[in-house]
Structure 1
Amino acid sequence: MKYQKYRLLIEKLFKRQLTEKQAADLSKWLRSPEDKEGFDDMCHELWVNTPTAANDSVEAAMFANIQSRMDETETEKFSKRLSFYKIAAAALLVFCIGLGAYTYFIRKNMTDRLAEVVETKVEKGQKAQVILPDGTKVWLNSFSQLTYDGAFNQRERRVKLSGEAYFEVTKNRDKHFVVECEGVEIEALGTAFDVKAYPLDSTITTSLTEGRVRVSDKKSGITLEPNQQLIYNKKGNSFAVAEMDNINEADFWRKNILYFHSTPLGDIAKTIERMYDVKVVFASTDLARATFSGTIRNNSLENIFHIISLTYPMTCRFHEDTIYIKHR
């Protein structure tokens, strides 16, 4: 594996187990012109998973000691955000002169890392799949956004969702996986589930296909079993749980299948607007309240409205990126 020898030495450095000879070898390599692409990320991973014994007061004292031994140019250089490559080199310098104060510099860089925000945004008419740092797979539906910060996968695994996503969570009993959306949290452990939480929708829907999840707001919560679906009403802060007719309906959208069960045409229009980046206009509010149930496998716009019109008397007119619907 690339850097394997130096990975072991860096790990010993972080654990304060490095011998003088090992320190000299590592220092020589760090100073060499060899390409070290990916080295920062490797060190970050090792640091996150390496316990540290130093507290804040000790680290502050160490830093003051180091500063007293540096001229102004060096101090300014170290005050900026350092890569782990530079931190390791600085750590070895300190190690070799017996101060053992490298923890401060590593923690300084870690503070920068924790402040970083990773955001995946999917536009209307698009879908995306991402793999999180812990190996969890996430499929994002149209007009959705997933966000997490540098603290992800340290004490817990927490993400924020706006829109719809299907999660296949990597098992880790020590670090619960939490999805935040508009005051509601979905907590999972080794689970496959779907969350639909679009800001303009009146509800947040969680559908569980595997494992267990707990859905909660600030006042209460409910634990779901496989094949259950929970609908949270944002306005009334209420929970409603029901069995799914088909366990596969939770992720039909990933397979380009539309599934509706007594769904108002107005809500179906919101789904279509997100999927195709179009605008749907109804001739009347009564028409928008009419409901439709069914599964549509061919997702062309014309086909969707043709199938709906077979069960409800309506006509559609397409003009550029707008669809006009009226009674037939």
Structure 2
Amino acid sequence: MSEQEYIEDLVVKFLLGEANPEEIKEVETWCAQSSANQKYLEDTKLIIEKSQLPSSAEFDPEKAWSKVGPKLRDTRKEVRSIISLWKIAASLILVAVVAYLFYWYMAPGEEFVYLSENEVLTQTLPDQTEISLNRESEIKVDYNPRKKTGTIQLKGEATISIGKEKDIQWIVEAENLLIKDIGTVFNVKAYPEDQMIEVSVLEGAVQFYEKGEEGILLKAGEMGVYDKISKQYSKTQADTNVVSFKTRSFQFTEENLQEVVDLISEVYDQEIILSGPVGSCKVTVGFENEDMDTILEILSETMGLEIRKVGNQIILQGEGCF
């Protein structure tokens, strides 16, 4: 007789009241070993009750086992089948969960690299976020729609307009600084050779900070400046012409002519030189996507300047303010 058959016989004797004290103790110890053993005892008791076996006075072990044994074995097979099915199902679920977690956390997102050299470059990302790169600028984009995250590593200057759905949490990395988007349009100027990193917010807000620090919160109309040497932040009013490199639109109010000319020279990538005592003359004027020649003609007429071209230079000659 196998151990399993011995236990089956012992349990039947226990339930029919035919077990001696030693056998009773053995059954109790066996049931205490696991909940599965206890359940087997309870299932056997239920089967015996339904089988309406004779009382102990009429008990015939062989006859009793002939009635109960097949049912117990069928029950045991059924229980084992259910357990096996549950094990298979649990294994499949575990595999699916592991695969899902691997896909979610380990699978790489999409990567894009854009480089502008001698002209402004505008690109639209899959979530409709638009990035306009100024000349001599570069970005590397890591876009992961599953994690709903995006990182933009910037060298140079870029204007970033976040997609309307705002499904992705974007963070811009400029050297050791981070700019966290809070649903905005903003401009970042971070040329490696410059001492300052500038962030100007046109719409919404951004958090401008170094990892592990709070940094500063910038709202629409504000500009944050980080000094790489002193490692200090400052906040001021944003320049209205900060995205002129993209729009080629300008608005000057009582601005020094020298600063006006410097910006136009930068945007159109053309060397323009002021000659004569006119650099401090105040200018109030606006331009909407005009070509450079038209802008210079308007300035010359407004300020009484003479335009001369010498090689690759444009010289604006004036006698003074009027």
The normalised TM-score by structure 1 is: 0.51
Tell me how far 1:322 sits from its aligned partner: 2.2
Match of 1:210 in 2: 203
For structure 1, list consecutive stretches of 5 or more residues without a partner in the other structure.
Answer: 1-12, 19-46, 56-106
Match of 1:147 in 2: 140
Match of 2:81 in 1: none
For structure 2, list consecutive stretches of 5 or more residues without a partner in the other structure.
Answer: 1-91
Per-residue CA distance 1:189-222 (angstroms, 9 max, x = gap)? 3222233445566654433233321122476522
Which SS does the other structure have where 2:251 is aligned?
A: strand
Which SS does the other structure have where 2:153 is aligned?
A: strand
Matched, 1:132 2:125: yes
Match of 2:219 in 1: 225
For 1:239, the aligned partner's letter is: S
Tell me how far 1:52 sits from its aligned partner: 2.0
Question: Matched residue pairs, number?
Answer: 224
Per-residue CA distance 1:299-318 (angstroms, 9 max, x = gap)? 22222223334554543322
2-side partners of 1:290 and 1:123: how far apart?
Answer: 34
Matched, 1:276 2:268: yes
For the 8 Å contact 2:272–2:315, the answer to whether it is kept is yes
Alignment counterpart, residue 294 of structure 1, candidates 285, 291, 300: 285
For 1:228, the aligned partner's letter is: E
For the 8 Å contact 2:127–2:165, the answer to whether it is kept is no
For 2:209, the aligned partner's letter is: S
Task: Give runs of aligned pairs for residues 45-194 of structure 1, distance below 5 A.
Answer: 50-52=100-102, 118-124=112-118, 126-149=119-142, 154=147, 156-161=149-154, 162-169=156-163, 176-194=169-187
2-side partners of 1:273 and 1:211: how far apart?
Answer: 30
RMSD of Structure 2 on Structure 1 (CA): 4.4
Which SS does the other structure have where 1:278 is aligned?
A: coil
Alignment counterpart, residue 242 of structure 1, candidates 210, 226, 237: 237
Instruction: Pick 1 or 2: higher relative contact order, CA cutoff 8 A, min separation 6.
Output: 1
Which SS does the other structure have where 1:51 is aligned?
A: helix
For the 8 Å contact 2:143–2:151, the answer to whether it is kept is no
Which SS does the other structure have where 2:102 is aligned?
A: coil
Match of 2:28 in 1: none
2-side partners of 1:266 and 1:158: how far apart?
Answer: 37
Tell me how far 1:137 sits from its aligned partner: 2.0
Matched, 1:308 2:299: yes
1-side partners of 2:220 and 2:160: how far apart?
Answer: 14
1-side partners of 2:178 and 2:166: how far apart?
Answer: 18
For the 8 Å contact 1:259–1:296, the answer to whether it is kept is yes
For the 8 Å contact 1:281–1:325, the answer to whether it is kept is yes
Which SS does the other structure have where 2:220 is aligned?
A: coil
Which SS does the other structure have where 1:118 is aligned?
A: strand
2-side partners of 1:280 and 1:243: how far apart?
Answer: 25
1-side partners of 2:166 and 2:184: how far apart?
Answer: 10
Match of 1:81 in 2: none
Q: Aligned residues: percent identity?
A: 22
For the 8 Å contact 2:244–2:267, the answer to whether it is kept is no
Match of 1:257 in 2: 249
Match of 2:43 in 1: none
Per-residue CA distance 1:83-106 (angstroms, 9 max, x = gap)? xxxxxxxxxxxxxxxxxxxxxxxx
For 2:220, the aligned partner's letter is: P
For the 8 Å contact 2:216–2:233, the answer to whether it is kept is no
2-side partners of 1:311 and 1:199: how far apart?
Answer: 38
Structure 1 residues 120, 306: CA separation in 2 closer, same or farther (over 3 Å shift)? same
Tell me how far 1:293 sits from its aligned partner: 4.5
Structure with larger Rg: 2
2-side partners of 1:321 and 1:230: how far apart?
Answer: 35
Structure 1 residues 232, 141: CA separation in 2 closer, same or farther (over 3 Å shift)? same
The normalised TM-score by structure 2 is: 0.52
Tell me how far 1:259 sits from its aligned partner: 2.8
Tell me how far 1:171 sits from its aligned partner: 5.2
For the 8 Å contact 1:163–1:199, the answer to whether it is kept is no
1-side partners of 2:140 and 2:200: how far apart?
Answer: 21
For the 8 Å contact 2:120–2:245, the answer to whether it is kept is no
Which SS does the other structure have where 1:308 is aligned?
A: helix
1-side partners of 2:192 and 2:252: how far apart?
Answer: 20
